A and B are shown apart, each in its own frame.
Chain A
Amino acid sequence: MAGQASAPPEESMYQQFTPHRAGLPNLVEYFKLVWRRREFATEMSKSRVRGSHDNTVFGTAWLLIDPMLQSTIYFVMITFIRGHSSSGPTPGHTFAHLTSALFAFRLCQNALSTGAKSVTGAGKVLLNTNFPRLLIPLSAVRTGFTRFLPTIPLYLLIHLLVGEKWHVTMIGGIFFLGCLLVFGMGLSALAATLTVYFRDFANFLPYIMRLWMYLSPVLWLPSQIKGKPPAVQSLMEGNPMYTMLGGYSQLLQNGHVPALHVWVTAAFWAIASVVVGFLFFISREREFAVRVL
């Protein structure tokens, strides 16, 4: 009889499951577990990338072609259809801004749309395995980030092509990019939870994202809303993307360091999104096993 000899060390295996306070487990323990299982999220994300052949030559090419096509369409729209004002930025500058902001916005968009379906698509793993479910939307964000990465060199190339120069301050853009990533994590967790309760949430998502993009400084520059009614201005500035995308594109294009409040507000939005999104997700996580399948 194999018996006791094969039993693993007891001390390390002792587990205690206690009720969640206000629906939340011990968050320190929870995030320790998340960290310990990070390889699972990484591998899940990698497998998603492999599964969609994003890591092949043509797959990567598509990751570049798709945002470029989108940028071109929007560029045509805002320059030729809407009309280009002579007092505004040059077409080259507009295109550089459009690409930088659109690529960054797509990072969030990807994270949100992949994350929304991640939990409901996880299948029986939810039923038979005990792991922090937060890893599932986080892996979706990682996937979104992986798909975003090839667009960074693409933008740097465009930046040169339109006659701009690289600046040292462009490195500051990493902060805003980080904010966008963290913001996307919170949104992804939120969307994943909402999708469990309303399965058609993912169907609404494209409309929400498009509207959000029009309200964000993607197709327009932050400087262009000056002179608008105060109500419109405050609405635009209240948009989390305003500071994050605005600061990001400002740093990348002009090398201008944004004002301090832009940095702080961007960080605030990122943290707020993560706190709200993660807590909502974790508090509802125990119901996933009984609701998803």
Chain B
Amino acid sequence: MSNQKSGAMAWVESILLQFPIRVALGGVFIFAAYNKIGGVQSFANAIKGFKILDAETHGHLIISAAYTMPWVEMIAGVLLVLGLWTRASAAVISLMLVAFIAALIHVIMDETISADCSCFGDMQFVCEPGVSWCQVVRNGVLLIPAMYLVWRQGGKLALDQVCGSKTDPDDPTWTVDRSGGQA
């Protein structure tokens, strides 16, 4: 009886929370990645503008980051929407958001730096293009659902449920009926 109840709750959580959060968060990152992939030079300029790395000595790292980061966002976003490798993709997004927040605070604190966020390439999402506390708050807000998905994973409507992740021992939503059936 309690297994039936927890199973029903898992479905409710999947439909009301995990699925919409996955699609929304994944969609945001796909949108961000799409805008950057088409403008790698601009994104590299934006990374250089943050002045975290010296362009003279670490230009190759800036260029590598400019090519890699949008694709990390794209892959993680697509996986999140599909509900495949949900915990890993949510963890990647969480780590990126933490790194972005740290970089934004670095720019805000250093008054000599005037940089563009370029978080969504040439487009804007909620905040103005220039780096400000708005972007820090926005990324902090995005971090909450990302961390939630790291904790609760993709739910019943995720492809993880049909692609072998059923046996993932890390999955807190996966309970096994000892009598043999799935809860």
Do A and B interact?
A: no
Which residues of chain B have a CB within 8 Å of any CB of chain A?
none
Which residues of chain A have a CB within 8 Å of any CB of chain B?
none
